[in-house]
Amino acid sequence: MTNSSAARSPRTDAVRNRQLLLSAAAEAFAEHGTEVSIAEIAQRAGIGKGTVFRHFATKEDLIAAIMGEMIDSLITTGMGLWDAADPAAALLEFMTTGIELLARDRAFCEVVGRPSLQHPAVRAGIDRLCEVVEILTNRARRQGVIRQDITGQDIVLLLGGVRHTAAPLADTQPQLWRRYLGLIFDGIRAQAAQPLPHPPPRRLEFTGPYCESSH
């Protein structure tokens, strides 16, 4: 419906600035997490602070736009692996790609790990990601190459988990997460040595207004 009747293509400087803003923000968020100030992002982009809010009404919207792109790229990766020859290897490759993304981007880590802060759009993206991974997981499970009680949602949650395991030493050993991915994937392959002590996770639930309400 947008741009339907009184459509007018945006000015060239506006699209240029939007692009500058998006890349500067992506870079800043990756380095420092979502806590970087809008002022710093604007400075990096070489534009005024007001211009930032012209393109994105709130900081949350800006974050959501960038995180949405990252989630989409991960979804694409997942879909590209649907018809891989070895479904276990495909699953491992997907997880590797995902954690590489997380390891490179602090903001992505934060947003993915904290449902109470999530923008509705991000939430929707993660839902789609879960569905994609579910398909990847189902194939592997049906072929019996991973234990039967693992779901796609498990896999998605484990991405953040693996990354966080290695996070405290990430400055000095940036590849350490590969160790824990290996360890956990051994657990995923293991044919249910022990039944898991808790049922699989339910879908992420909507927890009301997406901003931390607390106290």
Using CB under 7 A as the criterion, which residues of the chain lie in contact with DNA when the complex forms?
A: 8-14, 16-17, 35-40, 46-51, 53-55, 57-60
* Most distant pair of Cα atoms in the chain: their distance: 64
Q: Which residues contact 193 (CB under 8 A, 6 or more apart)?
A: none
What ranges make up the beta strands (E) of 85-162? none
Distance, CA of 128 to CA of 18 (rounded, Å)? 26
Q: Of 18, 38, 19, which Cα lies nearest the Cα of 28? A: 38
Minimum Å distance from CB 172 to DNA?
27
The one of a second copy, DNA, none whose footprint includes residue 49, by CB under 5 to 8 A per kind, is DNA
Q: Is 151 helix (H, G, I), strand (E, B) or coil?
A: coil
Q: Of 163, 182, 186, which Cα lies nearest the Cα of 174? A: 163
Measured from the CB atom, the residue of 54 and 189 that comes closer to a second copy is 189
Residues 117-156 that bind a second copy (CB under 8 A): 150, 154
Residue 63, both tokens:
């974050």
Measured from the CB atom, the residue of 52 and 129 that comes closer to DNA is 52
Length of the chain equals 215
Measured from the CB atom, the residue of 80 and 168 that comes closer to a second copy is 168
Q: Annotate each residue in 70-109 with x if it binds a second copy (CB under 8 A) or - if it does not, as one string.
A: ----------------------------------------
Q: Which residues contact 185 (CB under 8 A, 6 or more apart)?
A: 92, 95
Minimum Å distance from CB 3 to a second copy?
35
Minimum Å distance from CB 103 to a second copy?
12
Could you list the residues that contact a second copy (CB under 8 A)? 31-32, 40, 112-116, 150, 154, 157-158, 160-162, 164-169, 171-173, 175-190, 192-202, 204-205, 207, 214-215
